[in-house]
Structure 1
């Protein structure tokens, strides 16, 4: 608590010290009324606005530290999720690794659920109906009925396209915190036949 108070005190002094130094700087007479003076005024006003924002932030932190802590942890949490958001390449790599590991296991020992899921994903990739969508902090892999290069009437007719309400049933996997969770759960016991 003592170090937090010292940090807030230093934050309080910094804008005043910088403002004092800025007021000591004099602008030459030959540049008055030119674009250089307008440019300098712009940066001076921008600095004043940011100084006021820092002072307001400091008072908000002092008034409600619990709220500031919640906001800070939320922002760091969102940053961590965005930083560890898995890509489609991660999904393909995981699929190849699992396929290679399952090839080493005897067919008598392979879990049928894992085998069927792996065959389904490989079939979707072969048909070109599996797609990737990133939401910044999480990603999904979903299937469509037709390949994007398909030129049938069904692909162009708006009445035959799937609705947004059918999207949850078409989601194959959800990626969050650097892992694809459905493939992780279905392949956890791929070498155990019940």
Structure 2
């Protein structure tokens, strides 16, 4: 990898020197664009040289940055969607229907009933934050046109927002739903 980084600045500098314009185009807009792009290539050449020297001087720091950026990339690719939440919820509901009510975990039944009620009222919302997602509730449905929905003084505060979070999704899993429904068929 270091060898390819050492070759790249030379390739860009050779391209920069090869581009020449005839005298009649000097000072025209085409020449100005060419000079602009030559400067851009020169800046990127300098950036590659600096990157190479930084990697050679501090390989541990470069490895930490690479691992950190790779982790963020994997988390963003595995970020669950609202469709994943609905799919998991329907699958769990279908599985709990097949179990006797005497064997069902009461906490699981209560949580699933709450989620179904929220979906029926239309107050569940989804928000993706890049590396993780949130499912949360609101006071009113989007189609509600009451005064409470319009008045800015009656809107929920930022301090009440954490209590509205239903579930957090990260690494392709909705964790609260998983924890509360993992042992759905065990009645303690």
Per the shorter chain, which TM-score range?
Answer: over 0.9
Counterpart Cα distance in 2 of 1:113 and 1:183: 11
TM-score normalised according to structure 2 size: 0.93
Q: What is the Cα deviation at residue 17 of structure 1?
A: 3.9
Q: Could you say which residue in structure 1 is the equivalent of 2:29?
A: 35
Q: Provide closer, same or farther for how the CA distance between residues 23 and 160 of structure 1 changes in structure 2, counting only shifts above 3 A.
A: closer
**1:52 and 2:46 matched:** yes
Counterpart Cα distance in 1 of 2:131 and 2:12: 38
Coordinate RMSD, CA, aligned: 1.5
Question: What is the count of residue pairs matched by the alignment?
Answer: 188
Counterpart Cα distance in 1 of 2:121 and 2:182: 26
Structure 1 unaligned blocks of 5 or more: 1-6
Q: What is the Cα deviation at residue 179 of structure 1?
A: 0.7
Deviates more, 1:180-189 or 1:25-34: 25-34
Partner secondary structure for residue 154 of structure 2: coil
Q: Could you say which residue in structure 1 is the equivalent of 2:118?
A: 124
Deviations 1:104-162 (A, max 9, x none): 11111111111110010000000011111111111111111221222222222223222
Q: What is the Cα deviation at residue 27 of structure 1?
A: 2.7
Partner secondary structure for residue 125 of structure 1: helix
**1:93 and 2:93 matched:** no
Counterpart Cα distance in 2 of 1:35 and 1:148: 52
Deviations 1:77-123 (A, max 9, x none): 11111111111111111111111111111111111111110010000
After TM superposition, what 4+ stretches of structure 1 lie above 3 angstroms from structure 2? none
Q: What is the Cα deviation at residue 15 of structure 1?
A: 1.4
